[in-house]
Structure 1
Amino acid sequence: MLGVLAAFASCEEDKEGYFISGTVENATEGQEIYVSELNESNTQTVPVDTVQVVDGKFELDLPEKDSPAISFLNLKGTRGNILYIADNTPISFTIYPDSLYASTVTGGKDNEILYNYLGEIKENNRKMGEARNAMREAFSTQDTAKLKALQQTQQEITDKDKVNKKELVSQNPNSIVSVMVLQDMLNTKMYSTSELRTLFDNLSAEVKQTSLAQNLDQNLKNMSRTDVGNKAPGFSAPTPEGNELSLQEALGEVTLVDFWASWCKPCRVENPNIVKVYEKYHDKGFNIIQVSLDRPGQKDKWIKAIEDDNLGNWNHVSNLKFWQDPIAAQYGVRAIPAAFLLDKEGNIVAKNLRGESLEQKVGELLNAEASN
């Protein structure tokens, strides 16, 4: 009996640490599951291991991690993947091939925090979607009172979400999920650099040592260089014609540095407004230099977008390096469109203005300059 117990205990010990197991609904016998994780630069996934589904189940013992890793499961024959945190705890999956997003992940404090967070995002998206649908109906019936109330509802959802994200990071300084949430917060452009820096500085030393946290730290440093009041980082890059153009050469009395790409739908939607502001104020000293984050080998798409959106009257540059663009890195740009408004000395006076806000600010700056 003691020998049996000892053998059982030994098997259990093998399943401690980084061990994954789970079930797959209606799985094909022998169907493969691929395990991958983000690389050190957090730019792409790298394969870790593969396991086959047997009798609708799978299990795999993996080498322990030096630090938590953002990881993924992918089921052969399906699109998409299942996100989880590998943090040296046994992790269990229930996989639904027809709806991977409905799959569940249990095990480990990090995964509990992660999936609570993802659940909040899903619920907020549902509420915002309902509000948008109701607003369309109110707009069609000219119900201005209801429109105003629904706009207030959307703002309340947004405000609550901002508070919840800050609380999650504050309450979980030892979790890599807090770094993921901070990166989301940075990408929304709804938080100041100082807010994000304070939250980051309160993370544990162990979490700050992860590659994800180190990348975020560098992004925050880059962002702080582009805070309003600071000198805009200088740069030069190729024009569509293949010549080098510097920021200094493009400066006017007021200059818009606009990060965009031909593949970015929100950027393309904003372009007509930029054209309008340029036509109204260029003669008074308003210049534009657009920095494209188009992909390598897709110069033709960049040039076609310039032509299609009638952007040919001002300066354009691109390194054609997608998200690895060095100018975007200098400016801490992690999402586009992103825009920086500069005065004639190259100092940043405003950021990420759109629509009427951009037009009003440009007019205000040029009028102030003319009165001096």
Structure 2
Amino acid sequence: MKYLFLIVLSISLTSCQEDTNGYAISGNVKNLENGKMIYVSSIDQNNQPQIIDSVLVENEKFSLDLAEVEVSGLSFLTIKGVNGNVMFISENEPIKFEIYKDSLDASKVSGGKENQIFYEYLNHLKGLNQEMMQLRMEMQQMATTSRDPESMARFQQKELELRERDMVFKKKMIKENPAAYVSVLVLTDMQSMGASTSELKEHYEMLSEEMKQLPLAKSLKSGLDKRSAVEIGSKAPRFTGPDPAGNQLALEDLMGKVTLIDFWAAWCRPCRIENPNIVRIYNKYHDHGFNIIGVSLDRGDQRDRWLQAIEEDKLTWPQISNLQFWDEPIAQLYGVRAIPAAFILDENGVIVATNLRGDDLENKVKELLEK
């Protein structure tokens, strides 16, 4: 799962503020010696961190008046000689910090509605990530000791429930905070988590007009327009790509009566867990006209791992990859932001279903073949 908490420092944001009451920061830093420098940074227009000011710590305290901001943005504090940072929103409100030098992640930020909403969301993601990591550890232990299908199915159901609970939280946050640019970040995360185009469009329209003018919102809208090209009912975009031997394979040459385009990677645990099910369905229906095209998002320096996964998981259908990780051009063409991702095509190359797994995938394949 790709979450905002892990990538947020690479995003540039702006939003309009109606009221400007000043922009000042102050706070405490536990156990930090006098004379240490704290740097205030923001993300510039090139998505790079830029130091905008600094302040010395005296008696474990600091305070700094900053110029009023015409637009709010993501900012963060760093301490010289200390790894990590403390994120906050540069809104025109007094902002207070309680910083723990030895555990920056535990630091607290207060002041301003935007910061309150921002940290509510980050705290949600921290809790969700902890639950997901624990579940995946249990799944990995199960995989090494037993391959009991029923037990693995229970783990998959628990993971699905976590994802659904997370999506409910995200939708609620956008609905309740349409004028907060944190909602644009949440919407971006929904896209990364594989939310449908219709869901994303619905919640994009909930945003205030000011929020829709943010660079991130405009980028999101552009992505949604591209995703519309791979909605159910659309003709699947054509592509070619290299197989493990370097031969160029084309979609139109690999299609059957029913075709599954399966986006996966050797490093993707949910993909590897689902592979036995896909193998079973392929072996059952291939002779009746069911074809699969695997498109891998593996890295260039992990080609051997990709080939090993194909062999270990017994993936006997054509495999394609440019080995460019998330920059895989076929994945970008199809708007893939999370894997596993699947597109099911009919005999005319029209997308008839997406992201089906387990029995749902088999039932759809059977239904289409019987038409």
Q: TM-score, normalised by structure 2?
A: 0.76
- Aligned residue for 1:341? 344
**Aligned equivalents of 2:253, 2:275: Cα separation in 1:** 22
Residue 106 of structure 1 pairs with residue 132 of structure 2:
no
Say whether the 8 Å CA contact 1:219–1:329 is kept in structure 2. Answer: no
- Aligned residue for 1:218? 222
**Aligned equivalents of 2:269, 2:125: Cα separation in 1:** 22
Matches within 5 A, 1:237-316: 237-311=241-315, 313-316=316-319
Q: Which runs of 5+ in 1 are unaligned?
A: 1-14, 133-147
**Aligned equivalents of 1:129, 1:264: Cα separation in 2:** 14
Taking a change above 3 Å as real, the CA distance of residues 46 and 283 of structure 1, as seen in their structure-2 partners, is: farther
Matches within 5 A, 1:182-201: 182-189=187-194, 191-201=195-205
Amino acid at match of 1:287: N
Give the SS at the match of 1:255: strand
**Aligned equivalents of 1:204, 1:330: Cα separation in 2:** 29
Q: Which has the higher contact order (CA 8 A, sep 6+)?
A: 2
Taking a change above 3 Å as real, the CA distance of residues 129 and 305 of structure 1, as seen in their structure-2 partners, is: closer
**Aligned equivalents of 1:265, 1:114: Cα separation in 2:** 30
Following superposition, the deviation at residue 260 of structure 1 comes to: 1.5
**Aligned equivalents of 1:110, 1:309: Cα separation in 2:** 47
Amino acid at match of 1:249: D
**Aligned equivalents of 1:30, 1:301: Cα separation in 2:** 49
Match of 2:172 among 167, 171, 177: 167
Following superposition, the deviation at residue 161 of structure 1 comes to: 5.5
Q: Comparing 63-72 with 286-295, which one deviates more in the overlay?
A: 63-72
Following superposition, the deviation at residue 131 of structure 1 comes to: 11
- Aligned residue for 1:8? none
**Aligned equivalents of 1:310, 1:36: Cα separation in 2:** 49
Q: Which runs of 5+ in 2 are unaligned?
A: 1-19, 137-153
Following superposition, the deviation at residue 352 of structure 1 comes to: 0.9
Following superposition, the deviation at residue 177 of structure 1 comes to: 0.4
Following superposition, the deviation at residue 178 of structure 1 comes to: 0.7
Say which one has the larger Rg: 1
Taking a change above 3 Å as real, the CA distance of residues 204 and 104 of structure 1, as seen in their structure-2 partners, is: same
Say whether the 8 Å CA contact 1:71–1:83 is kept in structure 2. Answer: yes
Residue 321 of structure 1 pairs with residue 329 of structure 2:
no
Amino acid at match of 1:208: K
Say whether the 8 Å CA contact 1:18–1:89 is kept in structure 2. Answer: yes
Match of 1:360 among 338, 349, 363: 363
**Aligned equivalents of 1:197, 1:240: Cα separation in 2:** 37
Question: What is the aligned residue count?
Answer: 336
Matches within 5 A, 1:115-134: 115-121=119-125
- Aligned residue for 1:204? 208
Taking a change above 3 Å as real, the CA distance of residues 294 and 178 of structure 1, as seen in their structure-2 partners, is: same
Residue identity (%)? 51
1:152-187 CA-to-partner distances (Å, cap 9, x unmatched) read 9x96x8777655433321332222101111122233
Matches within 5 A, 1:55-134: 55=58, 56-59=60-63, 67-75=71-79, 80-121=84-125
Say whether the 8 Å CA contact 2:41–2:50 is kept in structure 1. Answer: yes
Residue 230 of structure 1 pairs with residue 234 of structure 2:
yes
Q: TM-score, normalised by structure 1?
A: 0.75
Taking a change above 3 Å as real, the CA distance of residues 103 and 242 of structure 1, as seen in their structure-2 partners, is: same
Following superposition, the deviation at residue 109 of structure 1 comes to: 2.2
1:300-339 CA-to-partner distances (Å, cap 9, x unmatched) read 332232233222x212222222222332222221111111
1:181-224 CA-to-partner distances (Å, cap 9, x unmatched) read 112223333x5422321321232333222221122112222322
